[in-house]
Amino acid sequence: MIELLLCLAWAGLLPAWTGVLLLRALGPSCRSLHPLTRVVAGAAFGLGLSSLLAFVLLHLPGFGPGRLWLAAPIAVAALYLLARRQRGQAPAAQPSADCRIHPGLRLGCGLALLAAAWVFVWKSQLYPHSEGDALLIWNLRARFIFLSGEAWAQAFAAGNGCAHLDYPLFLPLGVVQLFSLLGAALPAAPIVLAAVTSTALAGLLFAALIRGGKGDWAAVGLLLLLGTAFVEYGPTQYADVSLSLFMLLSLVLIQAADERAPGAGTRLAALAGAAAALAAWTKNEGILFLLCFLLARLRHAPALGVPALWRRDRWILLGCLPVLLVLVWFKLSVGSAGDVLLRMQEDSSWNERLLDPRRSVEILSAAGRSSLLHGYVLVPGILLLGGLVWRRTAGAGRREMEAMLLCLGLCALGYFLVYQISSDRLDWHLRSSMDRLQMQLLPGLIFACLLPLARRAEPGSGQ
Amino acid sequence: MQPITLLAAALSTSALIALGVRVAGLPGSVQPSPHEPGALLDRFAEVRRELDRRGARPPLGLVTAIPIEVAMAPLLETYTDATLAAVRGQPVDAGLEAWLIEELVDLVQARGEKPQSVQRDACAVVVRQRFIPYLRELQMGPRRYALAPYLVDGEPGGPGSLCIADLPPGSDLAAQAAARGMDLLVGFPNGTGVLRVR
């Protein structure tokens, strides 16, 4: 129990504090987010920052993996000092923390949250050491780094037993921080981290849909998320939940930046860029997401013009930069080229596979099967809902929705193309990853479809 | 009620039902993990039956000869005295082999070859990819398993054996092992170990 509480403090409270301080330090526009969004987004940023800092600390003399528990307190201290400098600024208009929800929806959400918590506890008891890739890739890497001590970089040496040396380190270094706190590689560490990221993802989706003091659509969004296999992915300790968290966070923040007056949302845009880059620091699919995120911004070019788009979106690039620098440092120093890229270099027949219609059919039917098996049967309903909402939404709201759906659609297309050209056995590749890729995109899809509905509750929406 | 509201209500209700079905599908009590010996034994039997059904000849002889539990037990987090027993060469859990066999068969089939034709290579791959960090963990754990005598004293354990050595940094055992005709040498993170698979 002590281990769990310690881990919870380090993986939950300290990151949330770090992130809230970060948002405070960035000024009034960030402080004007809904209080729950601030806490949840803060926790995500806190985890991301301490993971990046941990990677930097690993390279400093005297900081082996055993002392990485210091990363989170150092991040808090640094941001506390930074936030203190902002004290003199005019306070931002604080949004109401009210959240009125229809009693039926409130009851449904309560039951769903209880059920989800039960599934988490049940599965964590059943697989305390996780399963599949979580055991053999993410937690294995964490163990290897932690147990190797000063020789941690050898964990990335070819032939030393770890596969996928190019996989980014958000999750392994998060786990290593907790291992170092506990002084041992105990299963409590990845379990708590999984609990925090799962809760943050569900909480962020809920918080981002609270508008005008009403939370009905937020409750619907939460129910839709919990009605899928998402509830089972959290306790598996896979990195996909963390990736999905950063993907959703970047969409939420860029939407918050867009709805502010020109020039008022620049820091939120920078944070959105940082969140998208943290997705890349979590999984290689996050790199694809980051590209799609930036490409989707071009959707606004016809309405705004390129110069105005650049003035607005350069802040996204600025936000990406620090995280991407660490990612590039990792990839060029201890990481290696991606497995998929390496295999493609060795196998020149990828262009034949790209044009093979049988593979396309197999991929699409696997997507359908996976939907049926993993609870994504709700997805057609969500898309239908999105279509109805799109028809009834106009102006900036419609453009925002289109940009978010375009980003997610480009991501899905990217996944499709990777399957199409992959030199791995296609049936194995589909069986081992299709469901998780769908899960990565689901929270963003729910957010994009429900946001225009939630905004109708805002004052002045005319609804 | 508007169509959107109706659809959202239907979706929310479906989601709640789907979650309820998911929870109801969970057994009332936590069953042994597939990593637990009992479940693994069952799985082992299943794998054998499946291999028989396919008419495949798995490298059972090879795998059985490898005291694979030495590596597998910590891999599966069974930090118990059973690990120590395995290290000493006592049988622990034949079921643990099942996982390895499954991996081997997957690897072999992925290459489009018959299982028996690539026994040694496949085994080497599995050992390299899965075990080394845990062997390292064995070395650094509270009970430091002294495995070196198996190899240093020239006792390789017979054909098809897996030998693990715990060596001081800078040891020249890698060279010694190579001189003895080792098939595979893999270094531990700090270069203190040698692993042999025949």
Listed residue (A187, A191, A138, A170) closest to A46, CA to CA: A170
Share of chain A above pLDDT 70, in %: 87
Average pLDDT in chain B: 42
- A155–B133 C-beta distance less than 8 A: yes
3-state helix, strand, coil in chain A (%, to 5): 80, 0, 20
A155 → closest Cβ in B23, B76, B189:
B189
B128 → closest Cβ in A108, A152, A159:
A159
Give the chain A residue whose CA is nearest to the CA of B138: A147
Q: Which residue has the higher pLDDT, A69 or B119?
A: A69
Mutate to test the interface with A, among B5, B6, B16, B139 (most CBs of A within 10 A): B16
Q: What is the pLDDT of residue A52?
A: 93
Coil vs helix vs strand at B42: helix
Give the chain A residue whose CA is nearest to the CA of B7: A385
Helix segments in B111-180, DSSP class H: 119-130, 132-140, 148-152, 173-179
The answer to whether residue A323 neighbours chain B at the CB level (below 8 Å) is no
- Would the pLDDT of A55 be above 80? yes
Looking at mean pLDDT, say which of A3-7, A116-120, B143-147 comes out highest: A116-120
Q: ipTM for the complex? A: 0.79
Which CA distances in Å does B148 have to A151, A332, B132, B172?
Answer: 21, 36, 15, 13
| CA atoms within 13 Å, Cβ hemisphere of A296 | 27
What is the pLDDT averaged over residues A53-74?
Answer: 86
- Specify whether the backbone of A27 is left (phi greater than 0), alpha (psi in -120 to 50) or beta: left
Q: Are A206 and A99 in contact (CB under 8 A)?
A: no
Structure tokens at B194: 């040698």
3-state helix, strand, coil in chain B (%, to 5): 55, 5, 40
- Give the list of residues 6+ apart from residue B163 with CB closer than 8 angstroms, or none: B147, B150, B151, B156, B157, B194, B195, B196
Structure tokens at A292: 């799609």
Listed residue (A185, A123, A142, A130) closest to B35, CA to CA: A130
- Would the pLDDT of B120 be above 50? no
Structure tokens at A229: 């296999």
- A136–B133 C-beta distance less than 8 A: no
What residues of A are in contact with residue B185 (Cβ under 8 Å)?
Answer: none
B15 → closest Cβ in A157, A223, A388:
A223
Smallest CA–CA distance, residue B110 to chain A, in Å, is 8
Chain B interface with A: residues with Cβ < 8 Å: 3-4, 7-8, 10-20, 22-23, 26, 30-31, 33-35, 76-77, 110, 128-134, 136-137, 140, 186-190
The answer to whether residue A453 neighbours chain B at the CB level (below 8 Å) is yes
Give the chain A residue whose CA is nearest to the CA of B142: A184
Give residue A345's pLDDT band: very low, low, confident or very high (50, 70, 90): low
Share of chain B above pLDDT 70, in %: 13
What residues of A are in contact with residue B23 (Cβ under 8 Å)?
Answer: 115, 118-119
Start-to-end CA distance of chain B, whole Å, equals 73
